[in-house]
Amino acid sequence: MPFRFTPSVFALAALAVGAVPLTAGAQTAVFYVPPKLASRGTSTTPIGGKGTVTIKVFVHKDGKAVVPSSVTKSTNHSDDAAALEIARTSTYKPAAKDGKPTDAFYTFVLSFTGAGAVGDSGAESGNSDLEKVSALERGGNYSAAKAKLATYLAAKPADTGANLLLAVADAFTDDFSAAAGAFDKAGTIPAKYKTLAGKTYANAAVAALKANDNDAAIAYASKGIDLTPSAEPYNIRGSAEYAQKKYDPAVTDLEKARDLAVTENADKHQRAVIETNLTAAYFGAGQTDKGLAAAKDVTTLDPSITQTGDIIAQYYNDKATTLVKSGDRKGAADALDAGAAAVPKYAVQLYGNAATILASDTKPDWKVVKAEADKALAIDPNDARSNYVAGVALANDKDTKDALTYLNKAQASAKTGNDADLSKQIDAALKQLGTAGGK
């Protein structure tokens, strides 16, 4: 009498991997908040006349600023000394990545009218109400500016200048979704605001992505790309496209993000984040060779990022599931073997799943099943499921003594691991084997 078991015994063991992407394998871009002007300084140096001066101020993560000895750009060099003095006497709020202060450059733009310095958020409409708001923003009082703008916009909601000032205030108080909405209402964004608007849309896209609103993330990221094409918004858009299973567009955007990250001299961690997302997109698109190559690049850039192994293992497990549904158990086992070779971390589970699939065939080759289970047991001799499948294979080959050895070992491991379902299945097999052996 052949040794039999119910098909439910051979459900695939779930892999202990994260979900993919965003909430697992793929990661979002670093949530970045640029440095800000906390309070504008003053100058005792006479102002030369009308002009615009740009200074790159390096703001350390502790808030201390380093002002260069010369300006970056100037339309009137007689204003340079006054601009540098204002920059030195100003205070700054450091940039942040994922909530942690970080070093970054603050681009300080000062426009001189001949009577005084005007910050780069100054109103240009000649509207006295908006000029007051602009003065508040130049002084870093964005909360008061927003309060005044709320009253003003209640009466004139379509005023593009007011919406532009509101966008600036929202951006500098880290309300990026609101800032993005205000920039949308501001009409054509002046050149001097494009960098701020681009960063705002990128940060709004990150917030939308984290909220699983992929449509909004794609829309915001696209606007950021139009204004300031850079690695960050391409990475965000590619991640959102991946989440929507739009794998080909995701690959295109993430490859662009990878290339731009190199051009922009992004740090290794950020490049590794992009490569991780690209790994997921490649596997989603069925480009396994490129996915494996990208995963190797992640390890080289930042070994602390380990999600690529999860992505690869889950890909092969999902592929095996699809092949089983089509009736190709041999192909499914081969896919799992390939996954085990690619990701040793999950080799025991993948080999065990391969043995399970082969054992659930209508006419299993029990020697092949046993050989597959042995691959897992060579790595972890105490793996409960693999010992169980090996015992079943031996029982069907009429090797009752060795079958009992494997099944008893499986039972001990299942109980230690608190796997109640598997323990019940092993009990049933032991009982069945005892009955068959008695005959």
Q: How much is the pLDDT for 31? A: 54
Task: Report the run of H or E that residue 281 belongs to, with start and end.
Answer: helix 268-284
Structure token digits, residue 183 = 């920039």
Nearest to 228 by CA among 262, 198, 202, 266: 198
Task: Report the run of H or E that residue 343 belongs to, with start and end.
Answer: none
DSSP summary character for residue 381: T
Q: Mean pLDDT for each consecutive 10-residue tract of the chain (439 residues)?
A: 43 41 40 75 84 91 93 91 92 80 86 61 56 80 90 92 92 90 92 88 91 94 94 94 95 97 91 94 94 94 90 89 91 94 92 91 92 97 93 90 93 88 88 62
User: Domain residue spans in the chain?
Assistant: 7-21+306-438, 31-120
Q: How much is the pLDDT for 124? A: 43
CB of 104 closer than 8 Å to CB of 32:
no
Q: How much is the pLDDT for 174? A: 86
CATH number of this structure's domain 31-120, picked from the four choices 3.40.50, 3.30.565, 3.30.70, 3.30.2420? 3.30.2420
Q: Which residue's structure tokens are 């995963």?
A: 295
Q: Which residue's structure tokens are 């964005």?
A: 142
Q: Domain 7-21+306-438 carries which CATH code?
A: 1.25.40.10
Distance (Å) of CA 185 to CA 160, 164, 407, 436: 6, 8, 70, 79
Tally the residues of the chain. 439
Q: How much is the pLDDT for 285? A: 95
DSSP output for 38-76: EE-----SPP-SEEEEEEEEEE-TTS-EE--SS-SEES-
Q: Which residue's structure tokens are 């659930």?
A: 360
- What contacts 179, CB < 8 A, 6 or more positions away? 166, 167, 168, 170, 171, 200, 204
Instruction: Name beta bridge partners: 100.
Output: 97
Q: How much is the pLDDT for 1? A: 40
Q: How much is the pLDDT for 127? A: 63
Instruction: Name beta bridge partners: 91.
Output: 39
Q: Which residue's structure tokens are 């609103």?
A: 213
pTM of the model: 0.68
Report how far apart the first and last C-alpha atoms of the chain are (Å, whole number). 9
Residue 127, classed as helix, strand or coil, is coil
Angle 312-318-319 (CA atoms, 0-180°, nearest 5)?
90
Q: b/e map of 123-151 (b: 16 or more CB within 10 Å)?
A: beeebebbeebbbbbbebbbeebbebbee
How far is Cα 9 from Cα 110, in angstroms, rounded to an integer? Answer: 73
